[in-house]
Chain A
Amino acid sequence: MQRQGLRTWLFLAPAGAWFLCMLVLPLIVVFVFAFGERGAAGGYVPAFTFENFANLGARWTAFQNTMILAPVGTLACLLIAYPLAYFLALRASVRWRTLLLILVIVPFWTSILIRSYAWIYLLGGQGIPSLVKAMGLGSIRLINTPFSVLVGIVYGYLPLMVFPIYVALERLDKRLLEASSDLGSPPWRSFLQVTLPLSMPGVATGCMLVFILLMGEFLIPALLGGGKVFFIGNALVDLFLQSRNWPFGAAVAVALVLVMLVTVAAYLRFTRRWAGGRDDVSLM
């Protein structure tokens, strides 16, 4: 028994030390720095002040853009993902289902940088706009607009939304649908009264995952927003790597994490109320 315990500790020690040194301590440092003051040459001077938090308004546009485009992007993902998840779970033939599902997930695991870059190519002056012009429909501008950022968001995060909804729909007891139709419900009513409510836990999981990741997004607005549409993530990069205002940047980061925590808490409350409880969703 004693030896067993020792071995357990030895096996846990490297992972524990890694989590402690590279996750817990750095996060504490961020928290502490958020109350500090900026040094003359950037960096950090120890202090205890709430000034950084009071100043958050200076980056209000970034917060505003994020708080508008993250929910809108999440909703767009949901609207596009739901029919696809529905098709995969309830309509696609069993033979093709696994392959089709893998084809949805694979892009999520490839470089988001390269995938966003692809849209610079497609939406840029020589891409779709030049096609539209060639067809004689006048000139349009797509790149560096909120629209192009939204396209990038949907493109980047769609797989993450499809998967949890698929899992929820796949687990759905098909007999309930039969019962509903036997009792004379038209398909749309069965969908609204049976399928949709039972898939809500999956919808909630997908929305939470996408929303949280969107809150910290940097690349998509940086590449497709061209400095006009910027998120909190872009403000953070600017504060840490350009203007080197660490304490203020730390305060922005703390605020960002707080918004995320609130989201997760709301999600947990929502799913607990929705009877089914929490689905553990893996991405593979």
Chain B
Amino acid sequence: MRIYALAVYLFLYIPIGVIALFSFNAGRHAAQFQGFSAQWYGKALSNPFVVDAFQTSLIVALTSAVLATLFGTMAAMALQSVKGRLRVAFDALIYIAVMVPGIVIGIATLIALVTLFDWLNPLLAAVWPLAEGAPQLSLGYGSLIAAHGLFAMALVIIIVRARMAGMDRSLVEASADLGATPWGTFRQVTLPQIFPGILAGFLLAFTFSFDDFIIAFFVAGSQTTLPVYVFSSIRRGVTPEINAIGTMVLAVSLLMLVTAQAILQRGRKAG
């Protein structure tokens, strides 16, 4: 039984390890390790396309995670006191957002936005006071952030809600009875208790956006995120440079996950 478990863990981690190991390979050959070198990292980081895609991914992941965490937490808090049809509708929306596959979300966002823009752009041009320079709406940062934020927000709502379910309601009532304002109660009682959930939600939202390929593939427009760049380079062939980029991407998500897990665990013990 123990040996079986070990084998499964090896299966899960050897491929990741191989990528990490070969990203430090001095040679170009994929099958043999020819000494230790960080040259592929240098190559990757001096490639303007990689740096550009990395920046795009970072901006999109940060913005969508911040917005998703803010609006998601607000919704999770409000939903506590909501019952009836509105509650059912929100629950349904959250489940749909999580269950509908990324590819369908990507397609839906693509055709809805392109149709909307095709329709709005002539209108915008018509009402634009100057002869030239009317703004052209197109896919890019906005659509990436909106589409990533959608899934991320559902995720945050689920996590924060789970955290609230374990919260002691009597503390909130006590605080109100003792004359605290709703804002004061929120800041001093509710927030410290749900904060681990909010932070963990933020980190997972960031990780999701940073790693997502399929939605970005459809809605990135003229922008390129890091996963989209990696995908198109893989198509052109396997190179040690991709190993280096891949290892960095894995390192970023691992860092986020370990932090999220540590926060959740500590929150569980304290709460």
CB contacts (< 8 Å) of B243 on chain A: these are: 121
**30 intermolecular pairs with C-beta atoms under 8 Å apart:** A7-B182, A11-B77, A12-B82, A16-B90, A22-B146, A25-B112, A83-B4, A83-B5, A84-B4, A86-B1, A103-B12, A109-B211, A109-B257, A110-B211, A115-B16, A117-B242, A120-B234, A121-B19, A121-B243, A122-B18, A124-B238, A216-B102, A216-B104, A223-B234, A240-B110, A240-B111, A253-B104, A257-B100, A260-B99, A284-B260
**B66: interface (CB < 8 Å):** no
**Would A26 and B253 count as touching, CB distance under 8 A?**
no
9-residue interface stretch from B123-131, B133-141, B147-155, B167-175: B147-155
| Chain A nearest Cβ from B184, distance in angstroms | 15
Give A284 to B110 CA distance when docked, in angstroms: 30
Q: Is B15 an interface residue (CB 8 A)?
A: yes
When distances are taken between beta carbons in the complex, the residues of chain A under 8 Å from B100 are 23, 27, 257
Could you say which residues of chain A place their CB within 8 Å of the CB of B60?
none
Contact B107 A236 (CB under 8 A): yes
Bound together, the chains give a CA A14 to CA B90 distance in angstroms of 12
CB-CB nearest in chain A for B213 = A113
Query: A219 with B15: in contact, given A15-B72, A83-B1, A126-B30 (CB under 8 Å)?
Result: no
Please pick, from B104, B112, B218, B230, the residue contacting A113 in the complex, using a CB distance under 8 A.
B230
Shortest CB-to-CB span from A131 to chain B, Å, is 8
| A241-B218 in contact given A26-B111, A110-B254 (Cβ < 8 Å) | yes
Q: Does B158 contact A (CB under 8 A)?
A: yes
Q: Are B111 and A114 in contact (CB under 8 A)?
A: no
A68 interface hit (Cβ, 8 Å): no
Which of A7, A26, A91, A122 contacts B1, CB < 8 Å? A91
Q: A252-265 CB contact bits vs B (8 Å, 1 = yes)?
A: 01001100100010
The CA-CA distance from A154 to B261 in the complex, in Å, is: 24
State whether A218 and B214 are in contact (beta carbons under 8 Å apart), knowing that A114-B19, A114-B249 are contacts in the complex: yes
Residue ID in chain A nearest B74 by CB atoms: A11
Interface string of A95-117 (1 = CB under 8 A from B): 00010101110110111111101
Residues in A whose Cβ lies below 8 Å from that of B230: 113-114, 117
Report how far A30 CA is from B11 CA in the complex, Å: 39
Chain A interface residue number, banded: 35 or more
Given contacts A11-B75, A26-B105, A121-B18, 16 further A-B contacts (CB under 8 A): A18-B146, A18-B153, A22-B109, A80-B8, A83-B1, A91-B1, A110-B16, A115-B15, A124-B30, A130-B31, A155-B11, A219-B213, A257-B104, A260-B99, A260-B101, A282-B158
A270 at the interface (CB under 8 A from B): no
Q: Which of B4, B72, B75 has the most CB of A within 10 A?
A: B75
Contact partners of A102 in chain B: CB under 8 A: 261
- Most B CB atoms within 10 A — which of A44, A100, A115, A250? A115
User: With A and B bound together, what is the CA distance between A121 and B75 in angstroms?
Assistant: 44
A29 touches B112 (CB 8 A): yes
Q: How far is the CA of A18 from the CA of B149 in the complex (A)?
A: 9
Chain B: which residue is nearest A216 at the CB level? Answer: B101
Contacts A107-B16, A249-B107 given: A24-B242 contact, CB under 8 Å?
Answer: no
Q: Are B15 and A119 in contact (CB under 8 A)?
A: yes
Q: Is the CB of A29 within 8 A of B108?
A: yes
Partner of B12, one of A14, A88, A104, A216: A104
Which residue on A lies nearest to B104, using beta carbons?
A: A253
A206 adjacent to chain B (CB < 8 Å): no
**Cβ-closest chain A residue relative to B208:** A109
CB-CB nearest 8 A-B residue pairs: A216-B101, A26-B108, A118-B15, A11-B78, A15-B75, A26-B112, A126-B31, A114-B246
CB distance from A260 to the nearest CB of B (A): 8
Interface size in chain B (residues, C-beta < 8 A): 82
Contact partners of A213 in chain B: CB under 8 A = 101
B103 part of interface (Cβ distance < 8 Å): yes
Which residues of B have CB within 8 Å of A236? 103, 107
Chain B CB within 8 A of A233 CB: yes
Bound: A84/B8 CA distance, A: 8
Question: When each residue 119-160 of chain A gets 1 if its CB lies under 8 Å from chain B and 0 otherwise, what string results?
Answer: 111101011001000000000000000000000000100110
User: Which of chain A's residues have a CB closer than 8 A to the CB of B257?
Assistant: 106, 109-110
Q: Are B78's CB and A246's CB within 8 A?
A: no
Say yes or no: is A19 at the interface (Cβ < 8 Å to chain B). Answer: yes
Contact A212 to B101, CB < 8 A, known contacts A25-B112, A127-B30: yes
With A12-B82, A114-B19: A240-B107 Cβ-Cβ less than 8 Å: yes
Contact in complex: B157, A15 (CB < 8 Å): yes
Contact pattern, A 154-181, Cβ under 8 Å of B = 1, otherwise 0: 0100110000000000000000000000
The reply to whether B101 and A29 form a contact with Cβ atoms under 8 Å apart is no
Chain B neighbourhood of A30, CB < 8 A: 104, 107-108, 111-112
